[in-house]
Amino acid sequence: MIKVWGRKSSSNVQAVMWCLDELSLDYSRIDAGFTYGVVETPAYLSVNPNGTVPTLQDGIAEPIWESGAILRYLASQYAEQTFWPSKPADRARVDQWAEWSKINVAANFTSPIFWRVVRTPESRRDQTAIDCAVAELTKVLVIADKQLERCEYLAGEEFTLADVQFGHCLYRYYDIAIERQPLPNLKRYYDLIASRAAFTAHVQVDYSELRNTL
């Protein structure tokens, strides 16, 4: 059975758990990181020297860390063609949007916006910095909105790995108290992925334990 180390409130863990359920795989998850500890122990650091989550172990294979690498491993090992194509050109199309999502969306949302809005006490929030970060993220999301005007999903007409890498940030984006520009194609897409059972189970989860923790 596949084992995953990481807490439910970690967005990177959520992406991995969402993918596991989409692929109908058996797994167990062990709370780790944040207040749950584990990641500082010698045993954990021996398999993930970064002391981060998630870490995944599949049978006797060497443990894997970094969520992007984990997602690509799961897709390569278990997914159907529509989710992770075998043809290099088709796979690259999916992978480019997955990579774009991690570099441009997750990185421009999690620390610059989510941490400043949710994890920082109100008395210490820098609203100017938040507004500037939202403006920068919006520039990126406009690219997705234009792509989604042409396609049902981010990389085409089928649900793929790119949607997991992109979509796991959107619940919090739409849930937190920020000013959002109207991006109708993005909102249509969000409603579409939010109807998936695995998204509901692993992404639309309570993150109140993270509030005012910085």
Residues 114 and 177 sit within 8 Å (Cβ to Cβ): no
Q: How confident is the model over 105-130, as a mean pLDDT?
A: 96
DSSP 64-90: EESHHHHHHHHHHHH--TTTS-SSHHH
pLDDT over 90 at 182, yes or no: yes
What ranges make up the beta strands (E) of 59-201? 64-65
Q: How confident is the model over 4-20, as a mean pLDDT?
A: 98
Q: How confident is the model over 182-202, as a mean pLDDT?
A: 98
Share of the chain above pLDDT 70, in %: 100
Query: How many Å separate Cα 93 from the centre of its chain?
Result: 19
Calpha distance 210→204 (Å, rounded) = 14
In the structure, what pLDDT confidence band is assigned to residue 61 with cuts at 50, 70 and 90? confident
Mean pLDDT of the chain: 97
Q: Give the pLDDT of residue 58.
A: 97
Q: How confident is the model over 60-83, as a mean pLDDT?
A: 96
Q: Give the pLDDT of residue 171.
A: 98
pLDDT over 90 at 173, yes or no: yes
Q: How confident is the model over 16-31, as a mean pLDDT?
A: 98
For domain 88-196, the question of CATH label 1.10.540.10 is answered with: no
Q: How confident is the model over 164-193, as a mean pLDDT?
A: 98
pLDDT over 90 at 214, yes or no: no
pLDDT over 90 at 167, yes or no: yes
pLDDT over 90 at 146, yes or no: yes
Where does CATH 1.20.1050.10 sit in the chain? 88-196
For domain 2-78, which architecture applies? 3-Layer(aba) Sandwich (3.40)
Where does CATH 3.40.30.10 sit in the chain? 2-78
Q: Give the pLDDT of residue 60.
A: 84
